[in-house]
Each structure stands twice: as structure tokens, then as C-alpha cells.
Amino acid sequence: MTDPAGQSPRERYRAQVRAEIKQHAWEQIAAAGVPALSLNAIAKQVGMSGPALYRYFASRDELITALIRDAYRSLADTVREARSSGAGLAELAHVVRDWGRSDPQRYFLIYGTPVPGYHAPDDITAISFEVMTVLLDAAGALPAVGSTPFDEHLKDHREWAFDHPADAATLHRALSFWTRLHGVLSLELAGHFAGMKFDPALLIDEELESLRQS
């Protein structure tokens, strides 16, 4: 017998256990960082043996991949929903900032220091490109910027846009937006603005205004 969502009781139970494992993994990451992630420790927390847990995640890297996939999917869905509601680059900047501030560990897992020895599968890259596609759409709505040598370089990277029709200037705007936003947001989430008595949100707005006028 299956439930209305099409899952059998066994499949539903497996999904619940996997979700519980991932929750404990996030708690470990928040406490000690990704390098300290231990499947054996998680197994004890969920009340099973180490070998039993490996039936849900075959390796530590598989668990990390699941966490990264969930994080990118959450961000991609968030920016796509905002864009479909009419958000431009300025609004998307604060959508991304709010997403990052809601769970800094999730943000740093995908935009922080790479996990030593870990290599993400191709589908992770594809999901991350979904975010860039939304930004390309929003960047195309900005006034055109002047041609620069960087524009020529971007012509070699049109695959980032998938099937999205974007010229080099649009790519330049989207990437400039992305780097300026993450520069401010990474510093903010890491606590480097503490005690400076200014609002990082205003700094993001100023960076975007500078980009718009360039």
C-alpha cells in the first residue's frame, strides 16, 4: 500500500530517517565544521549502528553531497520564486542575503572554503547554475554597461547561461553582481563587520548602485 504521495510505508520511513540523519549532520557542522562530520557519531544519535547508517548514506561524501544539494536547491527555488514575482537585481540581493542569514552554516557549506578531498557530482553544478540563470534574467533588465576587455573573456563562458539568451554584457553584470554581493555577505556572516556600526544591507545597495552606474 502507498500513501497519497505515492510512497510506500517503507519509502516514507527511509525518507524520514535520511532527514533525521541530515539534521544531525547540520548540527555537527554548526558545532565543529564540515571536517569534523562523523557518520559514526550520527549513528549513535539516531540510535543505530554505524553499518546500519551506511544503508542510508553509503559514505561521508554522499551525506555531504545530499546537504549541498539541499542547500543549492533551496537557494535556487528561493531566487526563482522571487524573480517570478518581479524582483530585480536589487531585490534579489536582499533575497539571497536573507537566505544566507537564516542559516549561515548552510551558506558557508556551498560558498565557503571547499571541503578537503571532496568533489561534487555534476548535478550539483547544474543546480548552482540555475541560480546564475535567474541572475542573468534579472541582469538583462538593467541598462547596458559599456564594453570592457572582460566582456570578451565572458564570451568563452556562455555555457553558464544554458539556454538562456544572454550577451557578454549581461554575463558581466550578473557576475559582477554575484561577486559584490558575496563579498559583502561572506564578511557579514563571518562576523567581520562586528563593531563597525553600519548596516551591511546599505553597503550592498551602494555596491549595486555603483554597478548600475558603471
User: DSSP assignment of 7-68, as one string?
Assistant: --HHHHHHHHHHHHHHHHHHHHHHHH-GGG--HHHHHHHHT--HHHHTTT-SSHHHHHHHHH
Q: Position of cell 553544478? A: 125
Kindly state whether residues 43 and 65 are assigned to the same domain: no
Contact call for residues 37 and 61 (beta carbons, < 8 A): no
Better pLDDT: 147 or 116:
116
- Helix spans in 85-199 (H): 89-102, 104-111, 122-139, 149-154, 168-189
Based on its alpha-carbon atoms, the radius of gyration of the chain, rounded to whole angstroms, reads 20
| Residues 173, 102 share a domain | yes
> Mean pLDDT score of the chain, rounded to an integer?
83
Q: Nearest CA to 93 among 160, 185, 194? A: 185
Number of domains composing the chain: 2
Entry field: residues in the chain: 214
Residue 207: alpha-carbon gap to chain centroid: 21
Going by the DSSP 8-state scheme, the letter that residue 113 receives in this structure is S
pLDDT surpasses 60 at 149: no
185, 189, 191, 196 alpha-carbon torsion, rounded to 10°: 40
Is 195 in the same domain as 120? Answer: yes
**97 and 120 assigned to the same domain:** yes
Residue 106 shares a structural domain with residue 150: yes
Closest residue by Cα to residue 110 from 55, 9, 189:
189
Range of the domain at 15: 1-58
Cα–Cα distance, 181 to 184 (Å, whole number)? 5
User: Are 9 and 81 contained in the same domain?
Assistant: no
How far is Cα of residue 122 from the mean position of the Cα atoms in its chain?
15
For residue 35, name the pLDDT band (cuts at 50, 70, 90): confident
Kindly state whether residues 176 and 120 are assigned to the same domain: yes
The CATH number of whichever domain residue 206 belongs to comes to 1.10.357.10
pLDDT band at 157 (very low <50, low <70, confident <90, very high): very low
Residue 16 — pLDDT band, cuts 50, 70, 90? very high
Instruction: Take residue 40 and report the three cell numbers written for it.
Output: 559514526
pLDDT of residue 79: 95
Q: What is the band of 3 on the pLDDT scale with cuts at 50, 70, 90? A: low
| Residue 80 confidence class, pLDDT cut points 50, 70, 90 | very high
- The residue among 22, 41, 58 that closes a domain is 58
Higher pLDDT, 154 or 185: 185
pLDDT at position 42 is: 94
Q: What is the pLDDT of residues 90-110, one digit of tens each?
A: 899 999 999 999 999 999 999
